[in-house]
Amino acid sequence: MNYFSSNFKLGILGGGQLGKMLLYNTRKFDIYTSVLEASNEAPCKIACDEFHLGDLMDYDAVYNFGKQVDVLTIEIENVNIKALEALEKEGVKVYPASKTLRTIQNKATQKLFYIDNHLPTAPFSRFAYTSEIKEAINHGGLTMPFVWKCAQFGYDGTGVKIVKTIDDLEGLPNVECIAENLVPFKNELAVIVARNASGNVKTYPVVEMEFHPEANQVEYVICPARIPEAVAKKAEEVALKTSEAYNHVGLLAVEMFQTQNDDILINEVAPRPHNSGHQTIEASYTSQFEQHIRAILNLPLGRTDSKVGGVMVNLVGAEGYSGDVVYENIETIMNMDGVTPHIYGKKQTRPFRKMGHVTIVNEDLAEARKIAEAVKKTIKVISK
């Protein structure tokens, strides 16, 4: 199949920043792209060859869009699965496959998948409605603290809450959910696994994620993770086993906990480019976005090792600001060594909205982490 400077058409469901960064690479390879997205303001709009407006959860919108492309991929999991199943039956290549997405879309079925495949994960209980949790606590079937997660459509800190007292349940949506044992972990780690249709597999180095205590969003991604070799090896093995169980094509980001005894437990997965791989653009031989394109088109996979130590800082909207975005002090951080900002192209900011990220590269990881802290303190995402 000739993908380059040809009539081949790659379809992307979702027009956000992940799609935009995928499009850097389709531009590089001159692969024709078509994007479906519900918002006319989407970051992808400026970079794709064709832009279609449509709801990703709407059967007809996804099906009709998919009929016009040769290979269909995603940059967000919340898409209409039935439409993908119909397209697969008609011979459209869909990566990741509808079967993988169906399992991953729902956190309860995702957790059951780990149990069924003997993959390590924290114990949990499943509830049809949040209101059933109080009863389970009162009857001793559930003890606090635990982590409440809505089963569907949670992302970036929404749909997740640590429940320490019964009052913490107040105000939570009454939806299908899970209550997961609170894991006292040393580190949150992630490994991105790339797999192409021929079954060739490569992993990126283990990264460590530092979280914002209130927003439940990643503040820093540090690559490589500052952990013993044996723990890194264990994390990589768990990620590879997970990838094999899903038998996915494309990228699979496996987020994990390193427990106090150095066991590895799977938290959750994302079958697409992921926040834990943004530093690969500057720090790796092959960025996660290029690798995703290589994997879904069954091209040879690129080198996954790092050229240099990298730390990634998320740029999120400052609290108390909503409206037309201003990146305050961006010139100051660009004056720092090894600092590259990525601005996603969202014109409107609001508190904790992901607006961009900054990569800091340095031969000395401790120095990169120090500069990352300075970046975090300096740049502010505010409004006019």
**Residue 282 annotated in ligand binding:** no
CA–CA separation, 18 and 10 (whole Å): 15
250 membership: H or E segment, kind and range: strand 250-259
The two three-digit tokens of residue 15, written as one number: 């027009």
The two three-digit tokens of residue 118, written as one number: 């003997």
Return all residues near 193 (Cβ < 8 A) that are at least 6 apart. Answer: 201, 202, 203, 204, 239, 240, 242, 243, 251, 252, 254
Residue type, 322: S
**Residue 182 annotated in ligand binding:** yes
**Residue 188 annotated in ligand binding:** yes
**Residue 238 annotated in ligand binding:** no
Return all residues near 4 (Cβ < 8 A) that are at least 6 apart. Answer: 29, 30, 31
CA distances from 336 to 2, 298, 321, 329 (A): 42, 39, 26, 12
Find where tokens 């660009």 sit: 334
**Residue 107 annotated in ligand binding:** yes
**Residue 267 annotated in ligand binding:** yes
**Residue 365 annotated in ligand binding:** no
Residue type, 149: K
Asked if residues 25 and 289 have their Cβ atoms less than 8 Å apart, the reply is: yes
CA–CA separation, 80 and 72 (whole Å): 13
CA–CA separation, 258 and 255 (whole Å): 10
Peptide bond into 271 cis (omega under 30): no
Strands in 177-181's sheet, in edge-to-edge order, are 124-127, 177-181, 146-150, 160-163
Asked if residues 276 and 243 have their Cβ atoms less than 8 Å apart, the reply is: no
- Tell me whether strands 354-362 and 207-211 are parallel, antiparallel or unpaired: unpaired
Question: CA dihedral in degrees (257, 261, 262, 268; nearest 10)?
Answer: -20
Asked if residues 380 and 318 have their Cβ atoms less than 8 Å apart, the reply is: yes
Binding site membership for ATP: which residues?
107, 149, 180-183, 188, 267-268
Binding site membership: which residues?
107, 149, 180-183, 188, 267-268
